[in-house]
A and B are shown apart, each in its own frame.
Chain A
Amino acid sequence: MSAGKTVDIELKDIAYSYGPIEALRGVSLSLGAGATGLLGPNGAGKSTLLRILLGFLEPDSGEGRVLGYDIRFERDDIRRRVGYMPEDDCLLPGMDAVTFTSYLGELAGMPRQEAMKRAHDVLFYVGLGEARYRFLETYSAGMKQRLKLAQALVHDPPLLFLDEPTANLDPRGRTDILELIADIAAKKDIRVLISSHILSDIESVCSQAVILNKGRVAALGRLADLRQPNFNLFEMRVKGGSGKFLKDLTGLGCRVEETEDGLLRVFMPVGLDRKKVFRLAAEDRTQIRHFLPSRTSLEDLFAQSVGVEG
């Protein structure tokens, strides 16, 4: 089976349950080149999806291919060609970074000498060149994160799965890792699937995103397209009886979020005439003192998708 050229991941109606709990329900998606963000609240099914893609779990139903290989029957072929950076702190104690990285390269199927040579290269690439002979137990959180990236890259996979790559990092460490991932995705011809809770990370690195909610795909597509949403976002400040007004807004099909400083963020359906909002405010004896259109961020999209589906 040869690897697919344009579509790296293709899933059709994937379902998976942990006993009575449905983790994934009819997930269908098709992902191609570039970096893709996998977003969703806790329990949305992100980790389960990654595990299914890696062949750790066999879906209850549905079918899928990764790099052209069947996720049910060609797991070894997938694992040989995919780099995986787990979320948890994971390392093999009692060894230095070169031994660790080359060992995992060997396990992926690289010849021993090549794996050793390549380990040096990727450790330099991720910025651990000077620390490559230090014992892993002495590494900081940021260094461990880079090391996990190095082990995922050592066998030069065409596809990388990164599970929360910036977890537990300080701002500078985060920037460094994101810079690396952006470089990998943009210049090294490696497709990247990033599972993250940090939306700004996804926005800064990815060209497309999948939003999962309660085991379903809530939104999927290029970020630029997703930012052209089926809602308009407005920022609003009101004075007066806002309780009834907010309830009536919801009745118009709007979704309203209130920030800590009292600012209302109103997601209005595209077809809704904004004059209706003012009319409603007048009826509810509420003064609108601030009403401005706002740029849609990924957070907004995420909130809207998860809210709509929820």
Chain B
Amino acid sequence: MSIREKGYHRWDGRLEERRRGWKPIARLGIRLAFKRKHFKFAFSLSFLPAFVFLAGIYLSERLQDFEGIVRKGAMPLRVVPGYFLSYLTADFVLFMTVVLLIFCAAGLVADDLKHNALQLYFARPLAKRDYVLGKAAVVMFFVLLLTLVPGLLLVVFKIVFSGSFGLLRDHPGLPLAIVVYSAAAAVFFASYSLLLSSLSRNRRTASFLIFGIYVFSDMLAEILRGIFRTPYVGLVSVKTNLKLAAAPLFGTKPVLEVPSVYAFVVLAAVVAAGAWVMNRRIRGVTIIK
């Protein structure tokens, strides 16, 4: 391969002063996630519950069409805010969210640390917050795709299938609750995964931590509940905290007899820890080497 197969040409364009320096980072992160092996399969699979809940909405509105196969005295399916909460905090949805994080988030910071890429980023006119926001946006994109988009579409389909705005009339705060929960879940999962990704220089270790802590915290909570017989040990579980925090937004009873504010505090602590660790890890690499 000879050097200078083509001559060097000056570029006469103008460099933009970006206000959203995080956008190219987010775009590339999303693109790279789809290039990973098995990601598309996992991504498609994670929408399965949305279709099941959609079918549920359809059935609830067309119950008379299925009278022949429905057991007599069976409770009719009621599509109320709790129904949407069930979708958003379904074990399978949360589990698939974590699986997607393994693909799209584990290497976000770990790979940059391993390959000394931070200096490439910060030799550009890029602020630390742009970097963090860009990486977080990758996670938030996928979490919102699994929560916000299906959540709002389910509301839309409920209106379409019922032919009335009865749901919104009776529960006007429902869309906002879906938006707030989805946004909070997106922020939490972004902080959770970036925190763990920045703790290691190895993508596999970060993947193991993301998956392991989610699963192990749930198991640990169950074990502790068996030992101490108090619902408060549920606060150890990532999944339970998300469910506890979501309940008041949708006006439903919490899964455990624990004030939701405690769950908010635990989730907020994870977000704060994520921000703190990211800040230290980035400064450690770019400033003093």
Count of A interface residues, CB-CB < 8 Å: 56
Asked if A303 CB lies within 8 Å of chain B CBs, one says no
Is the pair B115, A92 in contact by a Cβ cutoff of 8 Å? Answer: yes
Is the pair B17, A183 in contact by a Cβ cutoff of 8 Å? Answer: no
**Interchain residue pairs with CB less than 8 A apart (14):** A79-B125, A80-B124, A86-B123, A93-B107, A104-B120, A107-B25, A108-B125, A109-B15, A109-B18, A130-B1, A156-B10, A156-B11, A179-B3, A188-B8
Is the pair B123, A84 in contact by a Cβ cutoff of 8 Å? Answer: yes
Tell me the residues in window 165-191 of chain A with beta carbons closer than 8 Å to chain B beta carbons.
176, 179-180, 183-184, 188-189
Complex Cα spacing A236 to B28, Å: 63
Q: What residues of B have a CB within 8 angstroms of the CB of A126 in the complex? A: 3
Instruction: Please name 4 further chain A to chain B contacts, defined as beta carbons within 8 Å, in addition to the given A107-B21, A110-B13, A127-B1, sorted by A numbering.
Output: A57-B287, A84-B119, A95-B32, A109-B125
Q: What residues of B have a CB within 8 angstroms of the CB of A47 in the complex? A: 289
Query: Which of these binds chain B: A117-125, A211-219, A238-246, A287-295?
Result: A117-125
Asked if B122 CB lies within 8 Å of chain A CBs, one says yes
Q: What residues of B have a CB within 8 angstroms of the CB of A122 in the complex? A: 8
Chain B nearest CB: distance from A171 CB in Å? 15
Asked if B9 CB lies within 8 Å of chain A CBs, one says yes
Per-position binary interface string of chain B over residues 250-289, scored 1 when its CB falls under 8 Å from any chain A CB and 0 otherwise: 0000000000000000000000000000000000001111
Is the pair B3, A93 in contact by a Cβ cutoff of 8 Å? Answer: no
Other-chain contact of B286, A56, A106, A127 (Cβ < 8 Å): A56
Per-position binary interface string of chain B over residues 124-144, scored 1 when its CB falls under 8 Å from any chain A CB and 0 otherwise: 111000000000000000000
Other-chain contact of A18, B4, B7, B116, B288 (Cβ < 8 Å): B288
Complex Cα spacing A175 to B119, Å: 26
Residues of B at under 8 Å CB distance from A? 1-11, 13, 15-18, 21, 24-25, 28, 32, 35-36, 107, 111-112, 114-117, 119-126, 286-289
Is the pair A109, B11 in contact by a Cβ cutoff of 8 Å? Answer: no
Q: What residues of A have a CB within 8 angstroms of the CB of B25 in the complex? A: 107
Tell me what chain B mostly uses at the interface: helix, strand, loop, or mixed.
loop
Q: What residues of A have a CB within 8 angstroms of the CB of B125 in the complex? A: 75-77, 79-80, 107-109
Is the pair A56, B122 in contact by a Cβ cutoff of 8 Å? Answer: yes
Complex Cα spacing A76 to B115, Å: 24
Is the pair A86, B120 in contact by a Cβ cutoff of 8 Å? Answer: yes
Asked if A94 CB lies within 8 Å of chain B CBs, one says yes
Asked if A198 CB lies within 8 Å of chain B CBs, one says no
Chain B nearest CB: distance from A181 CB in Å? 11
Is the pair B119, A88 in contact by a Cβ cutoff of 8 Å? Answer: yes
Complex Cα spacing A103 to B117, Å: 13
Tell me the residues in window 70-109 of chain A with beta carbons closer than 8 Å to chain B beta carbons.
75-77, 79-82, 84, 86, 88-95, 99, 103-104, 106-109
Q: A90-B117, A90-B120, A129-B5 are in contact. Are A111 and B111 (CB under 8 A)?
A: no
Is the pair B21, A183 in contact by a Cβ cutoff of 8 Å? Answer: no
Complex Cα spacing A98 to B138, Å: 21
